[in-house]
Structure 1
């Protein structure tokens, strides 16, 4: 499709003298919203704003653009914090299956002056700032975009005293309960009379400052819900080939509930606020701008750390509510619960040094630590026990990882092809968009083969009944 001639594009803006950056994007969006003014008029006005942004700071149409230009000019006068010329080396697992963009992002991260060590997991793919699947240990600092937008996103597994045969015979009941006990999608929550109570709502961190305090009501409304995108709640069969003494589970097959979700609007809003603050306080070269960090010896750094910890506790509380509601609805005994999280920062000791370890889409895999690594809606997931591998900074992948972007998946995968794959694997799906089709993900077996030095497999989980956001929506 040809672009209409009256629409202002990037080339038009560059011809006026605009340069790539935040203000450039604001200019494009502003022009798009006000096409009715006509291209010639818009170009003239955009040129005027660029020449004298101070005169338009309070303008109804161009105020946001003017302030973005003023901010950009002020930052241009501040010398950026220099990156190291040569970054520290880092371990890469499953290198042949990792896209160049993820490697390039990790290379830049290792040039940060605070970087100590890094690793790239076999499910890695390009993200914002630190790649998804990236692990970065730094000295006395925290990087909001190194944690990610969905702070404290996690996996939670409940293993029931229910045999596989009972699930097969009563499939309709389990489907009914999965719909009744879960709620999905960006912006979705509970009405006041439906809201769950949980100890996390009494966390003093909700009163840490007015910004976080104002998020509490929305957080309460979404407590016990799951987001959009790749978040899910699913029933499946977990098989233990041998008895696991630490868990107290004999060998055999059991019905299990597996959930994947994070801190919803609370975490996303915290991430956006403190990422913006970090960029204002930590001026890095353009290629590293999304890796702006906050020193833990600063007020801003301590604020973010407290808010991040709150978001992680909130995410855990949501899983707790979902799993307790489901166990009660089924009248089932829970034989074991396992939970692990990613998109978080931990204070750990690495090679004798205290560091802050960011795991953006990576699972903690310290020696003896249990974790869950899912595949896709039709591929198996794995209950694993970490080996504490120093080169990976005691980490493993958080899933199979995408091999197609969401846009690419929607364009190339048909609804019929997705249905055929689900049928082939005996999976019943409730909701989900084409961007979450199984074919959009890497082969989980290839990913697991690349990290045998990082984890040992304890049990295999096979999805059978999966629920995701009805409209395939992203998190708000």
Structure 2
């Protein structure tokens, strides 16, 4: 039988096979075994992609665990419904749910914050977004004085852009570093550098460090809220690139933000493992801040638990994408050590909850209070007041600190949905029940760190010169 010449990826692409992680192994097999043209084409059949999938004509049905309490919320619910309807036409989708704290998170067809989408054999990077494994951790510090704990926490944490400077970095464990190095999505030098530098940082936006007391015991508790920082954002970017390559062949009609990586591919398996590594890094990211705070005060923790609320959870061949939804079902959290945490806003208690899986909640609860309007719109609505007056009115009696020393009114309580309404709808739709509350004492957030960013300073100076 006639032997083929040396085969490269060019010949395989010419046969209609899009590039994939399997190319290297296939090329080696073909050349080592000197397959003929017919033998090669027969061998490559196993890598053939299925016919392109069209969008569902109508959205797959999903549970709407949300009720508009006023005109402003009616507009929000309409937008959430419209974007969720578009998401639920994606051909991998099998179920979905919307939580009471839902709000739009991008162009039409983007999964909303407070959305849960279950997909068969598919991981959708756009449905977990850049803040992979955004999560909350609680440590019970017993009878420590809240003011001392807040001061120690401020000395231990780090908010704002970038990572910690040399000399202030936490050690990345060797075994975790090796997991990064052995995963093709995480092994670049840039990723490894960020994994080291960003450890022990909280970023900006709605991330916080909250000090309060248990309503049940009176113990002082610290709760941190943040995600996977630079490493997660970098993985998301790479995941979207891979997903969109698959989308072009698997389902060109699917919106780019809903592209997916099939789990039963090398890329899918590697991406799933990368998510687990980022999850481990993020949990450690919380732990080093809590441990550093405890070390400063020379105290021991009495209890600690955590949960993510922005992640992908696997149950056999179905992947649950929770874009801002708290997992209730233990099957979603193999390392579960306690109940779940639902923060509302800096002036409200953090809810400690448990709950059962139902048809309408798919095993999830809300993750917070959500928003009815954008940050910029909220600021425009309060333009008749000074930031200092708004801050004074909304944080009375609390020790609220901004790491950048600049007030960010888009993170004050009025920027969020009504906390009582969210709690009422949790009960109405059986989305978990409260077993304890962390009553607020104080909170640290990034604040408006961009206010004095170099480019803004230059713009202000240029304006003043005119």
Q: Normalising by the residue count of structure 2, what TM-score does the alignment of the two structures yield?
A: 0.75
Indicate the residue corresponding to 1:235 in structure 2: 211
The alignment covers a number of residue pairs equal to 375
1:360 to 299, 311, 323: 323
1:178 to 134, 153, 161: 153
Indicate the residue corresponding to 2:379 in structure 1: 410
Shift of 1:336: 1.3
1:387 paired with 2:356, answer yes
Contact preservation (8 Å) 2:179, 2:277: no
Structure 1 pair 140–100 and aligned structure 2 pair: CA distance change class (3 A): same
1:144 to 105, 113, 125: 125
Shift of 1:229: 0.5
Tell me, in whole angstroms, the C-alpha distance in 2 between the residues paired with 1:111 and 1:196. Answer: 45
**Cα-Cα RMSD:** 2.3
Structure 1 pair 423–101 and aligned structure 2 pair: CA distance change class (3 A): closer
Shift of 1:198: 3.4
Structure 1 pair 269–433 and aligned structure 2 pair: CA distance change class (3 A): same
2:58 to 86, 105, 115: 86
For structure 1, the 5+ residue unaligned runs are 1-78, 241-251
Shift of 1:211: 5.5
1:217 paired with 2:180, answer no
Deviations 1:56-81 (A, max 9, x none): xxxxxxxxxxxxxxxxxxxxxxx974
Secondary structure of the 1:376 match is: coil
Q: Normalising by the residue count of structure 1, what TM-score does the alignment of the two structures yield?
A: 0.74
Shift of 1:384: 0.4
Deviations 1:410-460 (A, max 9, x none): 333341343223443434323452221211101122112111212110111
1:304 paired with 2:271, answer yes
Secondary structure of the 1:158 match is: strand
Deviations 1:247-269 (A, max 9, x none): xxxxx211100000110000011
Matches within 5 A, 1:29-68: none
Contact preservation (8 Å) 1:108, 1:287: no
Tell me, in whole angstroms, the C-alpha distance in 2 between the residues paired with 1:316 and 1:401. Answer: 23
Matches within 5 A, 1:254-269: 254-269=219-234
Tell me, in whole angstroms, the C-alpha distance in 1 between the residues paired with 2:305 and 2:199. Answer: 20
Contact preservation (8 Å) 1:427, 1:463: no
Matches within 5 A, 1:67-466: 81-96=53-68, 97=73, 98-128=76-106, 129-162=110-143, 166-167=145-146, 171=147, 173-191=148-166, 194-198=169-173, 201-209=176-184, 212-214=187-189, 215-240=191-216, 252-283=217-248, 284=251, 288-348=255-315, 354-366=317-329, 370-413=339-382, 414-431=386-403, 433-452=408-427, 453-466=430-443
Deviations 1:117-138 (A, max 9, x none): 1000111111142111110111
- Ranges of 4+ aligned residues in structure 1 off by more than 6 Å: none
Secondary structure of the 1:99 match is: helix
Contact preservation (8 Å) 2:137, 2:286: yes
